[in-house]
């Protein structure tokens, strides 16, 4: 909708620009609210350094959730980039994805607060993993729906569609495995969640090499 041609009066669907604006807002706020999960130690006195060091689960949870939301945003970005138009189902699925993204600060705080306590940390890690799995699943559903409903750009090659689908799929299996692992060794599961998020971030680089690094003619006027 930001192109030079006026929007066709016939095409009065929900504009993707406001969809993106709300989505970017929720992603940005959820990712920034995570810092509130790191509780400033009170009355630490001369032991402040030790108190701050003891907060490592909070930093780990911050890194995991930040990476996951960041990776989801990257994925969301690629999806809307390939989107030709949105329809009403897509908009609703997108709201559901945002509901899950906006929820993530809660299991993040839960995990940060209860790691180190034997029984509760398993519960917290499992709730955390299920939340991450749900958010990632919905991102995958959003993409699948966009492809099936024919919302993606017509000039997009099938192999590109398949490539993105393949990238989004294995992470889901990873979460399922790690949730089971987390029942026994919670900390390993959480480090695994971080690894998945970084994996999500990195493939987009390789994925990007195909398109992003394509040399652009320098004699074009800058856009």
Close Cβ partners of 66 (under 8 Å, ≥ 6 residues apart): 31, 34
Cα–Cα distance list, 171 to 115, 134, 140, 159 (Å): 24, 11, 10, 20
By CB under 8 A, the residues from 94 to 133 that bind its own copies are: 95, 98-99, 102-103, 105-106, 109-110, 113-114, 117, 119-120, 123-124, 127
Give yes or no for a contact between 182 and 56, defined as CB atoms under 8 angstroms apart.
no
- Range 22-81, binding its own copies (CB under 8 A): 22, 24-36, 38, 40, 42, 44-46, 48-49, 52, 62-63, 66, 70, 73-74, 77-78, 80-81
Total binding residues for its own copies by CB under 8 A?
96
Six-digit token string for 119:
């029984």
Interface residue with its own copies among 154, 158, 159, 184 (CB under 8 A) is: 154
Q: How far is CA 214 from the centre of its chain?
A: 26
Considering only the stretches 88-96, 131-139, 164-172, 177-185, report the one whose residues sit in contact with its own copies under the rule CB under 8 A: 88-96
Q: Examine residue 216 and tell whether it contacts its own copies (CB under 8 A).
A: yes
Nearest 5°: the CA angle 56, 60, 63 is: 140
Rank residues 66 and 140 by Cβ distance to its own copies and give the closer one.
Answer: 66
């Amino acid at each position: 909708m930001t192109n030079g041609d006026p929007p066709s009066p016939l095409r009065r669907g929900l504009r993707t620009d406001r969809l993106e604006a709300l989505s970017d807002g929720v992603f940005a706020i959820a990712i920034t609210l995570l810092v509130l999960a790191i509780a400033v130690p009170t009355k630490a006195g001369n032991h402040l350094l030790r108190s701050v060091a003891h907060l490592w689960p909070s930093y780990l949870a911050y890194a995991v959730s930040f990476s996951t939301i960041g990776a989801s945003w990257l994925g969301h970005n690629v999806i809307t980039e390939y989107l030709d138009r949105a329809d009403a189902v897509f908009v609703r699925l997108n709201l559901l994805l945002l509901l899950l993204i906006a929820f993530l600060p809660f299991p993040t705080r839960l995990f940060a607060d209860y790691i180190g306590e034997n029984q509760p940390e398993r519960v917290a890690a499992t709730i955390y993993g299920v939340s991450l799995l749900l958010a990632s699943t919905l991102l995958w559903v959003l993409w699948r729906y966009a492809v099936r409903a024919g919302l993606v750009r017509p000039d997009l090659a099938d192999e590109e569609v398949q490539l993105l689908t393949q990238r989004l799929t294995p992470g889901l299996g990873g979460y399922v495995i790690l949730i089971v692992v987390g029942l026994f060794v919670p900390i390993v599961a959480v480090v695994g969640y971080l690894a998945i998020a970084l994996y999500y971030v990195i493939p987009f680089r390789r994925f990007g090499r195909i398109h992003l690094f394509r040399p652009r003619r320098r004699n074009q006027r800058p856009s």
